[in-house]
Chain A
């Protein structure tokens, strides 16, 4: 697939000397959903802000659809929709006016039918004549998304879109994201909710301290870094592990009632099959077993922890 956003050795040092980005290289593919994870202050928002034109880069370059974001800002910004992290709204404007304004300021001719369908998609139609200050936080979030979609962008940036949003709205938002993806829109989101990235992203990037630590297909990432754990509830507690079981990465729970076997996701079945037959040979019986796969969150915490 062709990359629609190409970030090359991007650096940013703010006026106060803070180095927010220390050389980021990232290719974003057309039509994918990319989740950027990272702790606060990692540089996620700075990265997005440079691509969208809110912040000037200090070094390196960013191409969007082959155009340079600084030199050809008219082409690049027309392609991009941005939903910012903060709930910033024109308090005294109506929903309809503010969404129509977004379309116009992106250079698109008025199109009431399109604005209507965007508002309906986001369950905002009933509120179209309400002033923004009358809306709840979740509704304002929808308005920001509607504003970002009003000019039919090909690339959508969602900066922490579900912060402070209830479960229902979050579900609805992911449905909207899914529909956009079906229409070929590329979506880049930053999030703290790792389950979210796990649920909807195609690829996951982890940023910390202004560097991109990794970027990987989500499933490949889980395979590569995800550890699995097999837990065997024993029929009778063990005091010590028999020597014959030492080649397996085993630990005995404190009360001796369970055996824990850690293995890498990708090396899977082999070790388990031989472990189970070895247990049988040793006459150790178990009454239940369960496996657990480490989540992106575990991976993320481990990665960021290594850095610190």
Chain B
């Protein structure tokens, strides 16, 4: 195991976050604060509580998940795409590092950034709404697993993408509908039966539901099933990466 190389990649990536503090930390915090002001405080005060939880509190886990997914996919994909774009990837590919070590460095950094921002948003949320965390350990497990899984997913997109448009298409076009329709802002019980059934095909539903359960012990699906689904998605990402590393897809001809 080339620990020095993993450390180098990890800290090199984390340095990028420090350099782009405004873009990578402050902007998601401002965006999320706007959600709290509009949905939590303004509109939320007129919405009745859901299963005994005020609307502002109810949407907090979903908002954290929304940011976590976007950030992890974004960081995970740009981390590997940018060296591909500038050509500096030659250095990593000609260094004595295994692909798994490259992965640990990049995905570790992307997940760390996502987690830091997720926690900042949790802290921000506590200024606007009442938050209680019933199962802090379960919450941490969901947070970490989701961060890692979606950073892996981002890494795959970064390897696959041939241009900036392809790089942005998943975070811009796929993630928001999945999050909005995944019960971030409502309980799927509120939906007509047909859309309830459709929602069960949405992976984000399981994330949000499980994560919310760790806060308020209310859930659309069984928390264990949620955990299983995150695990399944993690396994899918790892197998795709296994195939990519084995074939050298878009990395080594």
Contact = CB atoms under 8 A, between A and B. Distances in A.
Contacts of A104: 4-5, 7-8
A73 B86 CA distance: 24
Contacts of A54: 90, 93-94, 252
A86 B87 CA distance: 8
Contacts of B48: none
B46 interface: no
A106 B96 contact: yes
Contacts of A82: 90-91, 94
A105 B253 contact: no
A107 interface: yes
A85 to B, nearest CB: 10
A241 interface: no
Given A14-B253, A90-B83, 6 more contacts: A54-B94, A75-B96, A77-B95, A90-B88, A105-B91, A107-B5
Contacts of A101: 8, 12
A15 B253 contact: yes
A300 to B, nearest CB: 28
Interface of A: 14-15, 52-56, 73-78, 80, 82, 84, 86, 88-92, 97, 101-109, 147
Given A107-B2, A107-B5, A88 B86 contact: yes
Contacts of B90: 54, 82, 84, 88
Interface centre among B4, B91, B97, B252 (most CB of A within 10 A): B91
B188 interface: no
Contacts of B9: 105
Contacts of A75: 96
A104 to B, nearest CB: 3
Interface in B1-22: 2, 4-5, 7-9, 12, 15-16, 19
Interface centre among A77, A86, A101, A103 (most CB of B within 10 A): A101
B92 interface: yes
Contact of A52 (B15, B19, B94, B253): B94
A128 to B, nearest CB: 16
B248 interface: yes
For chain B, give the interface size range: 20 to 34
Interface in B74-109: 83, 86-88, 90-98
Interface residues of B, dominant DSSP: helix
A12 B26 CA distance: 49
A6 B86 CA distance: 31
Given A88-B87, A90-B88, A55 B252 contact: yes
Contact of A105 (B15, B16, B19, B97): B97
Contact of A89 (B7, B86, B95, B96): B86
A55 B5 contact: no
B80 to A, nearest CB: 13
A14 B252 CA distance: 11
19 contacts: A54-B94, A54-B252, A56-B248, A74-B98, A86-B87, A90-B83, A102-B91, A104-B7, A105-B4, A105-B5, A105-B8, A105-B92, A105-B95, A106-B96, A107-B2, A107-B4, A107-B95, A107-B96, A147-B91
Contacts of A77: 94-96
Nearest to B10: A104
B8 A90 contact: no
A79 to B, nearest CB: 9
B244 to A, nearest CB: 14
Interface centre among A89, A102, A106 (most CB of B within 10 A): A106
Contacts of B91: 82, 102, 105, 147
Nearest to A86: B87
B96 A73 contact: yes
A88 B88 contact: yes
Contacts of B86: 88-91
B4 A108 contact: yes
Given A15-B253, A73-B96, A97 B4 contact: no
B4 to A, nearest CB: 5
Contact of B96 (A56, A74, A86, A97): A74
